[in-house]
Chain A
Amino acid sequence: MCQSMQLYFAVLRIGLYTLFRRICGKAPAAPKPTFSVLCLGLANSGKSTILTLLSGENADGIRPTVGFSIKALMFADCFVDVKELGGSDNVRMYWNKYFCGAQAVIFVIDSAGSKESMETANAELHKALADPELDGLPLLVLGNHQDKEGARSKEQITKELELGLQSTARKWIIHTCSMKNKEEIMAAFQDFNKLLLEMKEKEEREDKTEEQDGEFSKI
């Protein structure tokens, strides 16, 4: 008698638990989106340093990136897989082989660099953005090395990189930062993530209307 009662309660409990799971399980079902983002910039602009800091590692002893390197970053609202491409001359010529599948672009510069380096950065940035694979993708420009003397301001960078001349189809933002201040880097990425999430929402909305109209035009 007692045993059968126990069994009965156990079954009841399992039933209730499953019910509970059913009800609650659906609410947090929306998973965080993942974006794959390309990180470009000349050698020594600090791409690896920034990404290493963001992933919570120590940024000492970083060596130049030969080829590419992927880092999975976790933020409160999304995951971002950043594919960094090395900025030295012999790697830059292969940049476009890694463009496929990117959803956004980050371009890092040394704000305190020489005039020539800014010109090279300008040329490389616009060459990359002209690639059909990167057409219309959101862009984050990071003016790194702000701790150095003579670092350019946002406005100066915008002017020297001719960011204003881009097509209106591309959303872009610019932030300044340095490896000495992780908050600045975080703030830049938070802003950027907002842009990515907006872009995704917009795409989803378009997909939906497309579906509706797809059905409609079949009639």
Chain B
Amino acid sequence: MLLCLVIKDAGNSRRDKGLGETSHTVHAIMAGRDMVNGGGEVDTFEKDLKEILEDGPNLNDMHNTVQTGSPQKIMTSSYPGGSGSFDNTGSSQLPRSQTMPPATSHVSLSNNPTSSNGDFLPKTVQTAQSKIETIKSWSVNTFKCTKQYIAERLGKGSKTVDLELEAQIEVLRDMQRKYANILRLAKNLNSHFCNVVQTQRALGEAFSEQAQRSPELQEEFSYNCETQRALVKNGEVLLGAMNFFTSTINTLCNKTMEDTLLTVRQYEAARLEYDAYRNEMEALQLAPRESTSASKVDGSKRKFDEHKVKFEKLRADVSIKLKFLDENRVKVMHKQLLLFHNAVSAYFTGNDSALEATLKQFNIKLKPANTEKPSWIEQ
């Protein structure tokens, strides 16, 4: 499981990076498209853009058009669609900085679509390069982590274990499972009880109807109608309390605990990376002198230090977050358990007294007076 996480996390972050970079190109394209929509030359322009993507803008043209100033023209005229003038793609960055217009016109340049297109070409080149770079480093990293993971699983590689912290994390995971179970049960109870209350309401209605229809049993039906209605009334109060209870536990279990577990997962991923680089470095240091160049050892030491910093930061984060989480959990649960107990016991004691009263004297009026509101509402 841990392995999947590491790989997935790494993959996500890479992809994010990639997206972030491509979004620049998107803006450039959009800006251009808007401009041209006005002129009605969408098709040719799009074709032009495709070529730009493959080749690059003609920088001399761009320089000229910047001075002519009209953005409408710039977009259509600077890329005439011909590929003949795209000769120096490789060194495109150098001439560009040289052909920069003087400072006075610089402000308008930065506001103008040409400049974003000027930036846009090197960006795609950069994106491609950096994409390859990130993919490369990502696969190296993934390979190392996988190796480390397998070694750990086979009981070979050495592994850094913070016994105290691991134990705390295990407690938290177990706690989350237990709370999830409580939540499930409470939800079940809630839905069953909701059905009960609905049935009671329907029954009360049916009784009241019969009380009106059959005069010979009117009184008896009325009593029963009243009891059912009183039950419904109390039941709704209890349902409200139960809803509150379940939604709070839901937040605690699926949001609050999850927030901390997210950091725990990051920590575990960092731990695996750290160990992978540590083992690699140790192996390199132990290897015979001739076979490993000093620079290689240095490089792996540097990588190791990087990951060590990250790992130690996350370890500190996890340990403080666990403490805060416990604090919050106790506070929340203290309140919730008190409310739940009050509501449940008020409901049942309320019913008990009501039932007793009706048993003793049939004539007693069933008023909410003897079914006190549960204390939690008044608090």
Contact = CB atoms under 8 A, between A and B. Distances in A.
B26 interface: yes
Contacts of A97: 263, 317, 320-321
A70 B255 CA distance: 7
Interface residues of B, number: 30
Interface residues of A, number: 26
Interface of B: 19, 22-23, 25-26, 29-30, 46, 50, 53, 247, 250-252, 255-256, 259, 262-263, 317, 320-321, 323-325, 327-328, 331-332, 379
Contacts of B19: 210
A214 interface: yes
18 contacts: A63-B331, A66-B328, A69-B328, A69-B332, A70-B252, A70-B256, A91-B324, A94-B320, A97-B263, A97-B321, A98-B259, A100-B262, A209-B30, A210-B19, A210-B26, A213-B29, A213-B30, A219-B50
Given A81-B255, A209-B26, A217-B29, 15 more contacts: A58-B379, A66-B327, A66-B328, A67-B323, A67-B327, A69-B332, A71-B251, A72-B255, A94-B324, A97-B317, A209-B30, A213-B25, A216-B29, A216-B46, A217-B53
Contacts of A70: 251-252, 255-256, 259, 328
Interface string A183-219: 0000000000000000000000010011001101101
A206 B27 CA distance: 9
Contacts of B320: 94, 97
Contacts of A67: 321, 323-325, 327-328
Secondary structure at the B interface, as helix, strand, loop or mixed, is helix
A98 B320 CA distance: 11
Nearest to A84: B328
A152 interface: no
A58 B320 CA distance: 30
Contacts, number: 65
Contacts of A83: 259
Interface of A: 58, 60, 63, 66-72, 81, 83, 91, 94, 97-98, 100-101, 206, 209-210, 213-214, 216-217, 219
A219 B51 CA distance: 10
Contacts of B25: 213, 217
Nearest to B19: A210
Contacts of B321: 67, 97
